[in-house]
A and B are shown apart, each in its own frame.
Chain A
Amino acid sequence: MSALLPLPVVLPLLGAALSILAGRSRSAQRAIGIAILTAVTVISVVLLVAVDRDGALATQAGGWPAPLGITLVADRLTTIMLTVSSVMLLAVLVYAIGQPGAERNHVGFQSVYLILAAGVAASFLAGDLFNLFVAFEMMLTASYVLLTLGGGREQVRSGMTYVVISLLASALFIASLALIYTATGTVNMADLATKVADLPPGLRSAFAVLLVVVFGIKAALFPLFFWLPDSYPTAPSAVTAVFAGLLTKVGVYAILRTQTLFFDDGSRPATLLLVMAGATMVVGILGAIAHDDVDRILSFNIVSHIGYMVMGLGLFTAAGTAGGIVYMVHHIVAMTSLFLAGGLIEHIGGSSSLTRLGGMVRTAPTVAVLFLVPALGLAGVPPLSGFVPKLALVDAGLVDDQHLIVAVSLVVSLLTLYSMVKIWSAVFWNPASEQPEYETHTVGRLGGPPLMVLPAVGLVVASLAIAAGAGPLFDLAERAAGDLLEPAGYIEAVLG
């Protein structure tokens, strides 16, 4: 079974190469992309089932034994993230094919997209810190290209900020790697888990905070979030949807992994994480309320809701971490479908500005439904997908006597509802007060271009499935959280 582990990384890379070779035929490229991502989805599901049944899997690429070689590890959290991300990558690829713009005009889109998929999978599977760095770079370099693919003025401006801040984070990552390697003589995560405990407490706390900063930049945590709402909205909406759904979550995943695996109760920066989580929620949602553009409001909502996942982690209890994991799954699906709906709104309404859009509940009822379901889900309205993880987080917070962060999270939920209703009333309910700046399109029989509507419908159905299957999903997340907080199984799988 562990022979399957490298495939989620290798297959997309192979696909990217094939896609370049097939550059003359756009349909061949599309077939390759969809086939590869479908295969990755199937493999991820198989891995999820196997890991949940038998415990963590590990493999040593290149044949060097564990603390030296390239280790790939999959435990429950890894496979949950792999499954959700590959489903989402597949849906967005179909959407990108249906959307006029990015994919159609660029011969490189498909291969860069597949490299991004490989980078994301490699980040989830990485068993040592240095491979995590390489995987991050793979993912980020692909994302730089996707973000600036058009080469327009706005894209270059925001792309600059994004690349500079990411490169800065990478330099910090290398510096922390060097320090950790000096102190412990290893970068293998399982090996580190046993060796970090021998370090003096001050050094341990310093490493913990350093890693929070490094991954906090990628996860867009307060106060390191400012680059996100500026850069995401300028890309084509399919690209923004992937970034919104995945890239920040990879940062959150890395925080989850490193904080739980390396550090014990004494050196985990629990209070720092909770304070950052609360501030992220509040500042993010205030930004969403202040802005008047669909993409920007959604982008600030990404930032705000990263806070919930980190809150779950910051409690460092099984219930809290499980809540955070379920929240992450829900957020990937809900946020992606919101951005897909946002892309449809832009395509049909010819603008993303709230003042230039209006009355779409009559002109585009399908899009209205596709927006409303994930929007209410994001706000945590029962019985939709956001309700269960939020309830779990609030419950875990109350059990842990963290009343302040619970109060903040509840208020921010209400404000999320407000910001979503703001989009709803301006875009769908009220008439437009100004003319749209781009060309508008009629909706047609399916309620939009079929290949754009179908993936959006698929993801909305997936978010409803998360809500319906919340019980089993939460049990799975609790087992995953148990693995994280008691990493003996993980360490044994790697070191034998």
Chain B
Amino acid sequence: MTTTLALIAALLFGAGTYLILQHTLSRILIGLALLSHGANVLLLGSGRRGTPPLIGSGEPDGFSDPLAQAYALTAIVITFGVSSLLLALAYRSWVLTGRDEVEDDVSDRAIARGGHADKEVTDEEAWHYVERVAADDAIVDDAANAVVGDDDSDGDGGDRQDTGAAGRA
């Protein structure tokens, strides 16, 4: 039993870690959910196993550990709350930018390009640069949207933007 739980936790952690390393926000969200599930399964597996811990239902020595279950419940509730907030944020990000992906930190990118030493690159200028790039991509995306259509945008959307990101990089 414990081995099964450990294996399930390992599987969830592995899949979650893979998804979290993607460039698409929706995949990262699913990855985080899987990671939290993995942690919760681990928490469940940390207690003693046995019969349901109800007073009067049997010998207390044979009870499963209720504390671990209480911890897991609390953790599930907290993760649920934060995940909904994260979903709302992701939706807001999609409304604002029209893309489902993690954006780079512009100020860091400006410094990485070496624009700092000779000429001061302000955030605003950097944004203009990003908006130019975004405008170029939007043309490509619109064309793709016209072909793909709404129905399977879930399946293909991620891949399309992945190639977009790769093309830019």
Q: In the complex the two chains form, is B124's CB within 8 Å of A437's CB? A: yes
Task: Given A137-B82, A178-B45, A356-B122, decide whether A167 and B36 contact each other with a Cβ distance below 8 A.
Answer: yes
> Among the listed stretches A158-166, A326-334, A475-483, which one makes contact with chain B, having 4 or more residues with CB under 8 Å of it?
A158-166
How many angstroms between the C-alpha atoms of A356 and B35 in the bound complex? 44
**B108: CB under 8 A from chain A?**
yes
Interface residues of A in 420-445 (CB under 8 A from B): 434, 437
The answer on a CB contact under 8 Å between A163 and B82 is yes
B46 close to A160 (CB less than 8 A):
no
Q: Report the stretch among B54-62, B92-100, B154-162 that lies at the interface.
A: B92-100
Cα A177 to Cα B124 with chains together (Å): 44
Tell me the bound Cα distance from A187 to B96 in angstroms.
Answer: 43
CB-contacts of A120-157 with B (<8 A): 130, 133-134, 137, 140-141, 144-145, 148, 151, 153, 156-157
CB-defined contacts of B90 to chain A, threshold 8 Å: 160
Tell me, rounded to whole Å, the shortest Cβ–Cβ distance linking A129 to chain B. Answer: 10
| CB pair B89 A156 closer than 8 Å | yes
How far apart are A283's CB and chain B's nearest CB, in angstroms? 13
Given A175-B42, A177-B71, does the pair A168, B97 have CB atoms closer than 8 Å? no
Chain B contacts for A133, CB-based, 8 A: 75
The answer to whether A137 touches B124, judged by C-beta atoms less than 8 angstroms apart, is: no
Let me know if A264 is at the binding interface, CB within 8 A: no
Hey, which chain B residues are within 8 Å of A151, CB to CB?
92
B40 CB within 8 Å of chain A: yes
For B105, the chain A residues whose CB sits under 8 A away are 158, 161, 230
Tell me which residues across on chain B come within 8 A of A156, comparing CB atoms: 89, 92-93, 96
Residues facing A in B103-137 (CB within 8 A) are 103, 105, 107-108, 111, 116, 120-124
Which parts of A89-145 form the interface with B (CB within 8 Å)? Answer: 130, 133-134, 137, 140-141, 144-145
Distance between Cα atoms of A137 and B47 in the complex (Å): 23
B7: CB under 8 A from chain A? no
In whole Å, how far is B89's beta carbon from the nearest beta carbon of chain A? Answer: 6
The interface bits of chain A over 293-306 (1 if a CB of B lies within 8 angstroms of the residue's CB, else 0) are 10010000000000
Q: Are A178 and B39 in contact (CB under 8 A)?
A: yes
Please give, as numbers and ranges, the residues of chain A lying within 8 Å of B45 by CB-CB distance.
178, 182
CA distance A158 to B102 in the complex (A): 9
Chain B positions within 8 Å of A414 at CB level: none
Given contacts A163-B82, A182-B46, whether A175 and B39 have CB atoms under 8 Å apart is yes
Q: Which residues of A contact B111 (CB under 8 A)?
A: 290-291
Residues of A within 8 Å of B16, CB to CB, are 171
On chain B, which size bracket covers the interface?
A: 35 or more
The closest CB in chain A to the CB of B120 belongs to A355
- Min distance, Cβ A189 to any Cβ of chain B, angstroms: 15
A174 at the B interface (CB under 8 A)? yes
A292 to B81, CA, bound (A): 37
Give Cα A356 to B90, complex, Å.
Answer: 33
Q: Which residues of B have CB within 8 Å of A355?
A: 120, 122
> Which residue of the partner chain, among A167, A230, A296, contacts B32 with CB atoms under 8 Å?
A167
Question: B120 contacts A153, CB within 8 Å?
Answer: no
Interface residues of B in 51-93 (CB under 8 A from A): 67-68, 71, 74-75, 78-79, 81-83, 85-86, 89-90, 92-93
> Would you call the interface of chain B mostly helix, strand, loop, or mixed?
helix
C-alpha gap A230/B13 in the complex (Å): 27
- Would you call B36 and A174 a contact (CB within 8 A)? yes
Contact A161:B46 (CB < 8 A) given known A137-B78, A178-B39, A437-B124: no
Task: Say how far A395's CB is from chain B's closest CB, in angstroms.
Answer: 36
Chain B's closest residue to A166 (CB) is B82
Enumerate A316-357 residues with CB–CB distance to B below 8 Å: 353-356
- Once A134-B78, A168-B35, A353-B122 are accepted as A-B contacts, the answer to whether A161 and B42 lie under 8 Å apart by CB is no
Verify A168–B43 contact, CB threshold 8 A: no
A168-B32 contact, Cβ under 8 Å, with A174-B75, A179-B46, A292-B120 = yes
The listed residue (B40, B82, B121) touching A174 by CB distance below 8 A is B40
A68 at the interface (CB under 8 A from B): yes
Is A160's CB under 8 angstroms from B93's CB? Answer: yes
Shortest CB–CB separation between residue B65 and chain A, in angstroms?
A: 8
A136 to B, closest residue via Cβ? B78
B64 to chain A, nearest CB (A): 14
Closest to B2 in A: A182
Contact with A along B4-20 (1 / 0, CB 8 A): 00000000010010001
Tell me if A148 and B89 are in contact (CB < 8 A): yes
Report how far A174 CA is from B20 CA in the complex, Å.
18
Known: A160-B89, A167-B82. A68 touches B67 (CB 8 A): yes
Q: Which of B28, B38, B116, B122 has the largest count of A CB atoms less than 10 A from its CB?
A: B122
When distances are taken between beta carbons in the complex, the residues of chain A under 8 Å from B39 are: 171-172, 174-175, 178
Task: Kindly state the separation between the CA atoms of A353 and B85 in the bound complex, as whole angstroms.
Answer: 31
Given A144-B85, A164-B86, A292-B120, the answer on whether A171 and B47 have CB atoms closer than 8 Å is: no
Across the interface, which residues of B come within 8 angstroms of A290, CB to CB?
A: 111, 116
Contact yes or no, A296 B82, CB < 8 A:
no
CA separation between A11 and B126, bound complex, in Å?
Answer: 45
Hey, which chain A residues are within 8 Å of B93, CB to CB?
156-157, 160
Selected from B13, B68, B97, the residue in CB contact (under 8 A) with A153 is B97
CA distance A481 to B38 in the complex (A): 37
Q: Which single residue of chain B is at the shortest CB-CB distance from A296?
A: B107
Please give 8 more A-B residue pairs, beta carbons under 8 A apart, in addition to A144-B89, A355-B120.
Answer: A68-B67, A137-B78, A141-B82, A156-B93, A161-B105, A164-B28, A167-B86, A181-B68
- List residues of chain B with CB under 8 Å of any chain A CB: 13, 16, 20, 25, 28, 32, 35-36, 38-40, 42-43, 45-47, 67-68, 71, 74-75, 78-79, 81-83, 85-86, 89-90, 92-93, 96-97, 102-103, 105, 107-108, 111, 116, 120-124
In the complex, 19 of the A-B residue pairs with CB atoms within 8 angstroms, ordered by the A residue number, are: A130-B74, A156-B89, A156-B92, A157-B103, A164-B20, A167-B32, A167-B82, A171-B35, A175-B39, A177-B43, A178-B45, A179-B42, A179-B46, A181-B71, A182-B46, A292-B120, A353-B120, A355-B120, A437-B124
User: 3 smallest A-B Cβ distances: which pairs?
Assistant: A174-B39, A178-B42, A182-B46
